[in-house]
Structure formats: structure tokens, C-alpha cells
Amino acid sequence: MTINYPNGKKFVPSHNLPATKKKKDFSFSNRGKTLEDELNETNEYYLQLGLAVIHKKPVPVQIVKVEYPSRSAAVIREAYFRTPSTTDYNGVWNGKYIDFEAKETENKTSFPLKNIHDHQIHHMSQVIKQQGIAFLILRFSSLQRYFVMRFESLLIFWDRMLAGGRKSITLQEIEETSFEIAPGAFPPIDYLPILQKL
């Protein structure tokens, strides 16, 4: 199956990446899970307990070519991303609209801002203007450390980059401006208590 971004560049699935890029984190209690897996489990836990309704947003894909090798099976051969996606998750908690992006890095000393996109910054700033709660959840996979960074803090580092400054946020800066979450079992990443502080 071929999937292309709106700019015409091909989407390369993770199974086509070199072996060094495919390595998963196999340390501690959340062995082998990605940040997305952990957040999906956490959000399901919140939903079942009636604490919040937060879901992963679907990726906007336009299917172009489908083949039917048998009557009961369809195979998508070509698809395109219709528009750039905004953020990863949204929903409602305690009467407030919640919108956040989830990012992970194998880097041990900083988070590269190239992992965030202009349209995501624009989207989160619109959420804030409407009195919603926007933030970033960061996972340093090699360190097994998780942080919640409010959008206002992210924006300071983003603006610094646009002004010609650092193109990353140091771990120390993240520690100073964010809330750290200790990973657990039920739920894996309990971020709702942090939202009380945001």
C-alpha cells in the first residue's frame, strides 16, 4: 500500500525503516509498549471509571486504490493523507476541553523541536484561546521518564527556536517547566492529576 502526504512525499511505514530506527524500549514495567499504547490504555481506564472521555484522533486518510483479491477481502494499495493532522488526543475532563500531543524521543539530554509542527502549535494556541487545556506529553524512552508540559511553556521554547535559538528543549529545561509522571500499572500514565495544576 502506498500512502502519500499532502505535499506528495511518500509515507514510510515503521516496518520499512532501518533496524536501528525500529528498536522498541524493553525496560521496566511497560516493556515494549509505545507511548501511544500506554496513553490508549490510560484513556480506556479513565473512560471505564467515568473520569474523562479522551480519545486518539483518527488520521485523515483518502483511499485512492483498492483491490479485491477475494469477495470477502479488500486490500488498500494507495492512500494519501488528506490534511496534516492537528494533535494526537482530545476529549472532555471535568467540563473542560482537553487537547494534547504525545511525543517520545530516544535522546537522553533534550527533546528536538523538529518533532512538533507549525500547524500543531497553531491548533493548540486556538484551543487555549477558547479556554481549553492544551499540553504536550513527552516520553524519554531510554530514561523511562514522562513529562506533561503546558502549551504556554512549549510556546516559549518554540518562539526561542523561531528567533534563531536552540532547536531543542534540554532535559533540564523540561524538568524546570513541566510536571513529571511516574509510570504505573493502572493506569500506565496517570496524567489527570497533573491537569488540576494546569
- The CATH number of residue 138's host domain is 3.40.1350.10
Q: How confident is the model at residue 31 (pLDDT cuts 50, 70, 90)?
A: very low
Coil, strand or helix at 185 = coil
Distances (CA, A) of 5 to 12, 125, 183: 10, 24, 34
pLDDT of 164 over the 80 cut: yes
pLDDT score recorded for residue 11: 55
- The alpha carbon dihedral of 170, 85, 126, 165 has a sign of positive
Q: Which residue has the higher pLDDT, 110 or 197?
A: 110
Q: How confident is the model at residue 185 (pLDDT cuts 50, 70, 90)?
A: confident
Q: How confident is the model at residue 86 (pLDDT cuts 50, 70, 90)?
A: confident
Render 97-158 in DSSP notation, one character per residue. EEEEEEEEE--SSEEEGGGS-HHHHHHHHHHHHTT-EEEEEEEETTTTEEEEEEHHHHHHHH
pLDDT score recorded for residue 191: 94
Q: How confident is the model at residue 24 (pLDDT cuts 50, 70, 90)?
A: very low
Render 4-25 in DSSP notation, one character per residue. E-TTSPBP--GGGS-HHHHPPP
Coil, strand or helix at 170 = strand
pLDDT score recorded for residue 108: 93
* Structural element, H or E, at residue 32: none
pLDDT score recorded for residue 82: 58
Write down the residue that cell numbers 490504555 correspond to: 41
Q: Which residue has the higher pLDDT, 28 or 115?
A: 115
Cα-Cα-Cα-Cα dihedral of 61, 66, 69, 75, to 10°? Answer: -10
d(CA 48, CA 189): 15
Q: What percent of the chain has pLDDT over 70?
A: 77
Binding site for Mg(2+), by residue number, is: 86, 88, 101, 120
Binding site, by residue number, is: 86, 88, 101, 120
Range of the domain at 183: 2-195
pLDDT score recorded for residue 152: 95
Task: Give the predicted TM-score (pTM) of the model.
Answer: 0.71
Q: Go through 4-31 and write b for each residue having 16 or more CB atoms within 10 A of its CB, e for each that does not.
A: eeeeeeeeeeeeeeeeeeeeebeeeebe
- Total of domains in the chain: 1
Q: Which residue has the higher pLDDT, 18 or 77?
A: 77
